[in-house]
Structure 1
Amino acid sequence: MRSRAGKVAAQLQRYQPPTSGGSQPGGTLGGPITFMFNPQQLALTKSANWIPHVVRGAQDVGVAEFSGSGPRTLSLEIFLDATDTHSRTVQQRVDSLLTCCVPTKASIAAKAPSPPWVKFAWGQFQTVSFYSYVSQINATYSLFDPDGTPLRATCSLTLHEISGATPGQNPTSGSRSARRVHTLVAGDSLELLAHREYGDPTVWRVIAEANDIDDPLRLTAGRQLLLPAPEELPTGEDRHVRR
C-alpha cells in the first residue's frame, strides 16, 4: 500500500493458523493492519546453534558441533497518533494488534486453539517478511482525550519465525521433509517426542533416523531435531518391524 506521498506503508497481515500442523497458514484474517507511520528501526535476529564438546582433563576444548539454525526474530515499534482526528483509531488499532496473541475462533472450533500467524511486509524488503507468531505486545499510551480516549500510543512487537527453510535440508535433495523443528530441553526423550507429536511412542525410531541419532539416550539440551511429517510414519507391518 502506498501513501499519498508515494511512500510504501508497512503493514502486518494476520492469517488463520493451520489446524493440521502444516507449514503453511490458512486464509487471511481481515485486512492488513496498516501502520500509520513507518518504523524508524527494525531489529532482526538470526542464530546458529552449536554444541560445545569439553573433554575432561584436556587443555583444549573439542570441536563444537553445529546443531542447526535458529528461527529469525523481528522486533519493531508501531507509533500511533490520532491527535489531528480525535478518533478511536488508536484504541481500535491496538485492539487489533492484541488479537495476534489470542486464539482464533476457527482454531478453537477445530479443537486446535492457536493465535493467528502473521507476516510483516514493507515494500520490497523481503528479508524481514516471513510467517511468524507474536510472542509479546507492549502498548504504551502517552496522550488522552478529556474523556479518556487514547490519542497516542507506541506498541512494541516481537515476532518469531514459524515457517522457513528447514535447517540442514536442501529442498531439492529429496531428503525427508519435516513437520517442524523441536529444540530439546532437559527431560526430553525420543519416545516422549513421538508420543507428543504422533500419539505413539513406539515410532521414536523415525525421529532418530531423520536426525542420524545412533544413541537415543545421549540427547543434548539445545539441539534441534527435525520431526518428520505424519505421512512419513511407517504403517502396518512396517511399523511393527521398526519397534
Structure 2
Amino acid sequence: MARKPGASLVKARLVIMEPPADVGAKPGAKLATVAFQFNPRTLALSKSVEWRRQPSRMAGQASLPEFVGSGPRTLGVEVFLDATATHDNSVETGVEKLMVACVPTKKSIGSKKPASPWVRFEWGTAKSVSFDGVLSSLSVDYSLFDVDGRPLRATCSLSIEEAGVDTPRQNPTSGSHEARRAHRVVAGDSLPQLAWREYGDPGAWRAIAEANGIDDPLALVPGGELLLPGIDDADPETGGAPMTTSYRREVDR
C-alpha cells in the first residue's frame, strides 16, 4: 500500500524497562530504546485460550468444554541488522542491546528480586502488537562476515510474551490482595470454574458456595452477583469456608 502524500516513515522500536517492583505493578523506568534499523516485514501475533473437558462415558457424545482462562498474547518479530549500510564495524553492538532484555537488571539484583527487564514493541499507532511483556526467547542468525570474522549482518528473532495483568479489584477498606470482590454470573459459569480462576484450586468451590448460601452448585442464575471471598475471610472451623452468607440473585433488567 502506498504511503499517503506528506506522511513520514515511522520506525519501529523496542522499549526496554525496569521490571515491576511488586507483583501486579506497572514496569519501572525506561532503561533503553532500541530503534529498528529496518521496519519488520511481518509480525506474528498469537493468543491462547485454555479449556478443560471431562471425558464422557456416553458413546457418540462429547462433554461440554469448560472455560478456564485466557493465555497471554505472544508477539514474534524479526529485527534485521546490517553493518554494511552504516559506518558500524559490526552488528554485535546491536545484538548486545537486545541481549540486555534477557538478563536481570542491576536494580532488581540489588533489591534481591532478580528479574529481567520488561519490553514493549512500538510501531506508530499500532495497538494490538504494543503491550507490556517479557522477552521469552531471542535467537540470532549471522549471515555475512568480514575478512576478520566480524559479523556484518544478523537476523534477530524475538518472542515477546504479554506480562501486564489487570489490577485486582479490592475492598475500599483494605489494600490486601485477599479482599472480597463481586462477580456477575454469566451463562456457563460454574463454581469449580470460578474457584480455579480465582484461587487456582477448583476444589475451593465450597468456599464460594458457603459465602453465598448456595445449596445447589449447579443452579447459578445468569445476571446474579456472587461474592468471591478472600483468604482472610476463611473460617478455620469450617475448613476454610468464609462465614458470610449472602447471595444476591437479582437480575438487572
What SS does structure 1 have at the residue aligned with 2:95?
Answer: helix
Are the equivalent residues in 2 in contact too, given 1:130–1:164 (CA < 8 A)? no
Between 1:86-95 and 1:38-47, the stretch displaced more is 86-95
- The match for 1:35 is 36
C-alpha separation between the residues in 2 aligned to 1:142 and 1:209?
Answer: 46
The residue correspondences of 1:1-243 to structure 2 (distance < 5 A) are 6-30=8-32, 32-88=33-89, 90-165=91-166, 210-211=198-199, 215-216=203-204, 234=232, 243=240
C-alpha separation between the residues in 2 aligned to 1:90 and 1:233?
Answer: 52
Amino acid at match of 2:198: A
C-alpha separation between the residues in 1 aligned to 2:166 and 2:202?
Answer: 25
| 49 and 214 in structure 1: CA distance in 2 versus 1, 3 angstrom threshold | closer
Unaligned runs of 5+ in 2: 1-6, 178-194, 206-229, 241-253
Shift of 1:9: 0.3
Shift of 1:54: 1.5
Shift of 1:148: 2.4
Alpha-carbon RMSD across the aligned residues, in angstroms, is 3.3
Between 1:63-72 and 1:87-96, the stretch displaced more is 87-96
Shift of 1:208: 6.6
- Give 1 or 2 for the bigger CA radius of gyration: 2
TM-score, length-normalised on structure 2?
A: 0.65
C-alpha separation between the residues in 1 aligned to 2:140 and 2:117?
Answer: 19
Amino acid at match of 1:156: S
Higher relative contact order (CA 8 A, sep 6+): 1
Shift of 1:108: 0.7
| 233 and 109 in structure 1: CA distance in 2 versus 1, 3 angstrom threshold | farther
| 208 and 52 in structure 1: CA distance in 2 versus 1, 3 angstrom threshold | closer
C-alpha separation between the residues in 1 aligned to 2:84 and 2:93?
Answer: 15
C-alpha separation between the residues in 2 aligned to 1:12 and 1:178?
Answer: 34
Shift of 1:144: 1.7
Shift of 1:59: 2.7
For 1:160-193, what per-residue CA distance to the aligned partner results, in whole angstroms no more than 9, with x for missing partners?
A: 0001458xx9x7xx9xx997xxxxxxxxxxxxxx
Are the equivalent residues in 1 in contact too, given 2:54–2:63 (CA < 8 A)? yes
C-alpha separation between the residues in 1 aligned to 2:197 and 2:137?
Answer: 36
| 212 and 129 in structure 1: CA distance in 2 versus 1, 3 angstrom threshold | closer
Are the equivalent residues in 1 in contact too, given 2:13–2:34 (CA < 8 A)? yes
C-alpha separation between the residues in 1 aligned to 2:113 and 2:200?
Answer: 31
C-alpha separation between the residues in 2 aligned to 1:178 and 1:136?
Answer: 34
| 208 and 64 in structure 1: CA distance in 2 versus 1, 3 angstrom threshold | closer
